[in-house]
Structure 1
Amino acid sequence: MEILEITGAALVLLGAIVLLIAAIGLLRMPDSYNRIQVGTKASTAGVALIMIGFALIVPTWFGKLFTIVLFVMLTNPISSHVLMRAAHRTGHPLTSGTVVDALKQDEENEKNDEHATV
């Protein structure tokens, strides 16, 4: 095996470990907001590590794998934002350890500003 293949295999293994730890973390998180955050960050990192590893193992796939990594890095944060916003709007409760609900404060400030200008 060459150095690139060994490094690529190590990155693929590391990405799989990151995804496994994230799966365990999903079960341990107290509310949907934390679960979405863990799933998003870990899946982005895990997929990126796996794709970079495959790119080192099979360099001819670099363009396709780079496109996949770019797509995941662009869409994961957007989709998690939309999911969290929908969860907040439908009234999913925050965990008791949550100190600040910034989105609720922003929405209340917007309502107060609207009433003040009317």
Structure 2
Amino acid sequence: MSVIGYVLIIIGALFYALGGLGIFRMPDVYNRLQAGTKATTLGAISLILGVGFLHPSWLVKTILIVIFLAITNPVGSSAIGRAAYLIGVKPAKVVVDEMEDKYKRGDENGDN
């Protein structure tokens, strides 16, 4: 069990490092948000499960934390991305902006 725990901790640390690199290298807030959220979600899940395997008495608690993270991280990142869009932050390269017409009409809920 301890080998699995240490491997998961190393995998989590690698995901965190790759997430930091992605935040550094990406051109705009939307790409940075995507790179950071995906990497930190997987990094946190791996680290927390690794701790759960190293301390089996904590495994149930760590699984609950992982479930909470899997639900809240994507919701938080989409809220940040939507807020960035609403204040006028434009992506680095836009071919078609499907959201522009919806927000120009004032139809924030997507209803026609």
The alignment's TM-score, normalised by the length of structure 1, stands at 0.83
Aligned-CA RMSD value:
1.6
In the alignment, structure 2 segments of 5+ residues that lack a partner are: 108-112
Q: Identity of counterpart residues, as a percentage?
A: 36
Give 1:56 deviation, angstroms. Answer: 1.1
Deviations 1:57-105 (Å, cap 9, x if unpaired)? 1110012111111111111111111100000010112102x32323224
The 5-angstrom pairing of residues 13-32 of structure 1 reads: 13-32=10-29
* Partner of residue 116, structure 1: none
Q: 1:112 to 1:48 in 2, by over 3 A?
A: closer
The structure with more radius of gyration:
1
Query: What code does the residue aligned with 2:26 have?
Result: M
In the alignment, structure 1 segments of 5+ residues that lack a partner are: 114-118
* Partner of residue 48, structure 2: 51
Q: 1:53 to 1:78 in 2, by over 3 A?
A: same
**Higher fraction of helix:** 1
The alignment's TM-score, normalised by the length of structure 2, stands at 0.87
Give 1:112 deviation, angstroms. Answer: 9.0
